[in-house]
Structure 1
Amino acid sequence: MNEFATHKNEELRDTVSTSVYPARSLKVLSRAEVARLSDATEEVGGLLRQVALAVLTSGEQGDDAEKMLETYKDFRIEVHQVTRGMRIDLENAPGCAFVDGEMIRGIRELLSAVVRDIVYFHTEIHPSPYFDLDSSEGITNTVFEILRNAKLLDTDVDPRMIVCWGGHSISSEEYDYTKETGYQLGLRGMDICTGCGPGAMKGPMKGATIAHAKQRTLPGRYVGISEPGIIAAESPNPIVNDLVIMPDIEKRLEGFVRLGHGILVFPGGVGTAEEILYLLGVLLNPDNADMPFPLVFTGPESARDYFEEIDRFVGLTLGEAARERYRIIIDNPVAVARHMAEGMQKVRQWRVDTNDAFYFNWKLTTDVGFQEPFEVTHESMASLDISPELPVHELAANLRRLFSGIVTGNVKPNGLRAIREHGPFEIKGEPAILAALDDLLKRFVAQHRMKLPGGKPYEPCYRIVS
């Protein structure tokens, strides 16, 4: 047993100071690799600390990243080289990550994944001349390398990875629906990938665990894909058994569509709308016209208005071609699961016919406009071109950036600070699109899908300028 000490901090939270050894992919490393990891943690210490803290509070309810950082302001993490490899030293770590002084095994694995991914990107990819982060092909190769380094690419499995998107703060009725849908997917042998957080990201995984146990297909795969800016507001749920941290939201989104074989969208808010616009923009590329990619919007009867409003907005902005790329199935988890199972057969046959890999969607064409990181500032938000004169995929890319900016202003620490200092983001564009956008966002607020961290009353972080 590790030596440990506990005490109460100012917020009366248990904290633990201890040392742990990494799990899984970081268990066997050369001394040179450990030395690089140790050196790199000094360069990315602040980022590593923030993401590690989010993982250590896994399972705790709450989406207030600033409050979490303040509550555990004395938390420290350091990586050291030792004779047997690598040791992670923790000071004043959240006590909820431990049982009788021992770190919970699942959290230890997630913490190891955080160190692995953040340090790997900053030591092996970002400084390397072999990764062209300014080209579409180079960015896709980067996504592949991060997923491969995380050992998420299984060459021996047929298409069965279903990506589930949706809000982290949903009603109990909607949450139960996501569990039942995950259960039906699991009964049909499908694995689950989500954004790793609570709500619609946890429900499908929870339902699938029961189905996988019934079908004796254990261990099931429950993949979480996150990024540093969002993970503090959406800490990994306890069911995630494979976590990967992408460097930014754009690579996170590409990770979903490269790793997944089909996508389900449950009710959510602006983050879910961002994901929808990203995927539709990618699928509208003419190079992807013939590619089967099952996409279903689904929820209980109470979510019908939500999806009708999304459908209306998509039709107005991206047209009928976009609407043809998805199905809306309301209040029928069995029909959803059957549709996805049938879709997996089409995906498998298409990849066989085109000689594409089952484990990574190489054939999907992604325009660089969907891959380049969008730095959210007041200037960049105000300068977004929201015009029907744009090619449809470019309009989709800018709408995706717009919703990404609203997510940043709602929940990400840097966005919250920017709004406090400079006021709301200004959104400009074509009046008809802005009117539809305003209506969509107001409906999100009325349906309690626009929430601020800590449950505070919603105050828009944006202002629509006609």
Structure 2
Amino acid sequence: MAVENVRITPRKALRVLSRHEVNRLKDVSEGGLHEIFKRCAFAVLNCGSMTDDYMTEQKEYDIFDVQVVQLDRGIVLDLFNAPDDAFVDGEVIFGIREHLFAVLRDIIYTHDEIINNPKFLASEDQAQNSEQITNMVFHILRNANMLRYGMTSDLVVCWGGHSISREEYDYTKVVGYQLGLRALDVGTGCGPGAMKGPMKGATIGHAKQHNRNGRYVGITEPGIIAAEAPNPIVNELVILPDIEKRLEAFVRCAHGIIVFPGGAGTAEEILYLLGILLHPKNKDIPYPLVFTGPKSSKAYFEQIDAFIAQSLGEEARKKYKIIIDDPESVAVYLRDNIKKVTAFRKQNNDAFFFNWMLTIDQEFQTPFIPSHENMSKLNLSVDQEIHILAANLRRAFSGIVAGNVKQDGILAVREFGPFEIHGDNKIIEPMASLLSNMVKQNRMKLPGGTQYEPCFKIVN
């Protein structure tokens, strides 16, 4: 069922736009913003969907539309044929309303104030540098009111798959509950599964402590939002322009990170963070990282641990702690180590709300386009610095994510076949083993659709 036509107004988020901005949002040409806004708005309204295949939603998407209307007193949104799960008694759910206007805010700001702003772009005689990219991330987060002066170090980012077992999902809720009891806030990729569970648990922990200011931060990007629509618990949503800036936002804002079981996207996140922590300039910066899950996930983390040891070596293994089936110990470990993070930032006069001290190479910041050519040319050899190898492995998994759930990636694989991944046997053999296990454990896609066909091929 769909709601044929409804008009909604902003309550807290963006209330006014210029005529130029409204016209950009109406523009259906290649340079216009209507399509990206429509895609993100549909995902927000369709948050109850149990599929991560955009093709199954294409019919509903084709008849849906959203238009920005400028009135004398401000803007409103007209929705046409919107998913009815977003409404109660004919009224759009409050949280979904706020997510819609957060989408509007970030798309307008990013495209008008960031992407085409000369201070963030390369000049004729100088390429875009790492500092410019970090400043782009900072300005987008600040505009979304994510960075708050005076707040303590208490944001725990939780990574993990959207396609996990019920036992694993319930475990993420218990971990979130233990974090909430200790006044720790939760940030995730804002989708279902391991992204929703910790937030759901934390709401109970915060409620028991009468903490009415709990933060449930969701960080996403347009390419992934259709497959991982923001869950309704998120009370701070921000959309970054690409996966690389999304990952940097996670790492700069977090005071500690928990990794739950997941698929290729979770492996991408792990490799991104390990690559940063392995950079020589970051070796003395405290950054708590925990891998955790129920007893049934023990084998999964043994596989992840073995892959890291074989590909990146023992130094990488020192950067994380594995805790199995003990949610309380996970929360205590994060609480105690975040105190060390706070002390370190005080000592070095670094902000609590944004980790400026981390060195993040452009290898981790430059957007990777997962074409068949780019995937086949990835340097997956042992003949390079270890943090650069981590960056290239991250790109490989990013391409697999694109082939699994992103529109452009899915269409490319359908037209040209699976992505081919080449490299040294020492690197790609453990990678092939890890990916094979993820496929067997149904971690690549949500169940219920067609049988999963790998979008990748490992070539010795």
Give TM-score, length-normalised by structure 1: 0.95
Q: Name the counterpart of 1:40.
A: 24
For 1:426, which of 420, 431, 443 is the aligned residue? Answer: 420
* 8 Å contact from structure 1 (residues 187, 215) kept in 2: yes
| 1:243-281 deviations in Å (ceiling 9; x for gaps) | 001100000000100111100000001100000000000
| 1:367-386 deviations in Å (ceiling 9; x for gaps) | 00100000110000001010
Is residue 150 from structure 1 mapped to residue 138 from structure 2 by the alignment? Answer: no
Change (3 A) 1:290 1:353: same
Q: Name the counterpart of 2:10.
A: 22
For 2:39, which of 50, 56, 64 is the aligned residue? Answer: 50
Distance 2:24 2:339 in 1: 44
Aligned to 2:36, the other structure's residue is in SS state helix
Distance 1:138 1:36 in 2: 26
Is residue 296 from structure 1 mapped to residue 272 from structure 2 by the alignment? Answer: no
Q: Residue 62 of structure 1: CA displacement? A: 2.0
Is residue 121 from structure 1 mapped to residue 110 from structure 2 by the alignment? Answer: yes
Q: Residue 454 of structure 1: CA displacement? A: 5.0
- The one-letter amino acid paired with 1:122 is H
The worse-fitting range, judged by mean Cα deviation, of 128-137 and 184-193 is 128-137
Q: Residue 340 of structure 1: CA displacement? A: 0.2
Correspondences of 1:316-335 after superposition (within 5 Å):
316-335=310-329
The worse-fitting range, judged by mean Cα deviation, of 400-409 and 431-440 is 431-440
Q: Residue 34 of structure 1: CA displacement? A: 2.7
For 1:99, which of 63, 84, 88 is the aligned residue? Answer: 88
Distance 1:89 1:213 in 2: 35
Q: Name the counterpart of 1:364.
A: 358
Q: Residue 80 of structure 1: CA displacement? A: 2.4
Change (3 A) 1:68 1:56: same
| 1:23-69 deviations in Å (ceiling 9; x for gaps) | 32313x4xxx4323202212111111111100011233221222223
For 1:172, which of 166, 169, 194 is the aligned residue? Answer: 166
Q: Name the counterpart of 2:345.
A: 351
Distance 2:11 2:360 in 1: 34
* 8 Å contact from structure 2 (residues 163, 447) kept in 1: no
Distance 2:143 2:69 in 1: 21
Identity of aligned residues (%): 56
Q: Residue 126 of structure 1: CA displacement? A: 1.1
Distance 2:45 2:225 in 1: 11
Aligned to 2:62, the other structure's residue is in SS state coil
* 8 Å contact from structure 1 (residues 64, 453) kept in 2: no
Q: Residue 453 of structure 1: CA displacement? A: 7.5
- The one-letter amino acid paired with 1:25 is A
| 1:287-330 deviations in Å (ceiling 9; x for gaps) | 11111110000000111111111111111111111110100000
Give TM-score, length-normalised by structure 2: 0.96
Correspondences of 1:34-433 after superposition (within 5 Å):
34-41=18-25, 42=27, 43-132=32-121, 134-433=128-427
Aligned to 1:19, the other structure's residue is in SS state strand
Q: Name the counterpart of 2:125.
A: none
The worse-fitting range, judged by mean Cα deviation, of 189-198 and 315-324 is 315-324
* 8 Å contact from structure 2 (residues 51, 446) kept in 1: no
Q: Structure 1 regions of 5+ residues with no counterpart?
A: 1-12
Distance 1:65 1:107 in 2: 20
Distance 1:37 1:122 in 2: 10
Q: Name the counterpart of 1:436.
A: 430
- The one-letter amino acid paired with 1:20 is I
Change (3 A) 1:254 1:294: same
Q: Name the counterpart of 1:3.
A: none
RMSD (CA atoms): 1.2
Distance 2:106 2:355 in 1: 21
Change (3 A) 1:84 1:453: farther
Q: Structure 2 regions of 5+ residues with no counterpart?
A: 123-127
- The one-letter amino acid paired with 1:63 is D
* 8 Å contact from structure 1 (residues 16, 94) kept in 2: no
Distance 2:19 2:352 in 1: 35
